[in-house]
Amino acid sequence: MNEECKQKNIPKVDNSAMDCDGNYMGSDCVIVEKVLDYFGSRAGKSVTDVLEDLVEKNYEFNKQISKLENEVKRLKFLNKK
């Protein structure tokens, strides 16, 4: 321990469950008002469903990107011949 600081500081964390004062709602209980066509979500879906739509859309984008990257590699290979 440092000469200047003789006090021990042991942090304590309270891991007990927090009380919800009624402001917390599960994502299945929150309904989206706005239509999000770009992500395939419609108004009236739960936040959970919207997040699942986002994950699915992201998966689709990743597949498309992978296909395009492979096509670029193929074209570069053909161009070298």
Q: What confidence tens digit (pLDDT) does each residue in 11-66 have?
A: 676 666 655 556 666 777 777 777 777 766 777 788 888 888 889 989 999 999 99
Structural domain includes residue 4: no
* Residue 32 forms part of a structural domain: no
Residue 52's CB is within 10 A of a number of other CB atoms, namely 14
Question: So what's the pLDDT on residue 24?
Answer: 67
- Asked if residue 18 belongs to a domain, the reply is no
Predicted pLDDT at 74 = 94
Residue 5 covered by a domain: no
**According to the model, what pLDDT value does residue 2 have?**
55
In a domain, 65, yes or no: yes
Residue 71 lies in a domain: yes
For 67, the domain range is 48-80
Are the beta carbons of 50 and 36 closer than 8 angstroms?
A: yes
How many domains does one find in the chain? 1
The answer to whether position 11 is within a domain reads: no
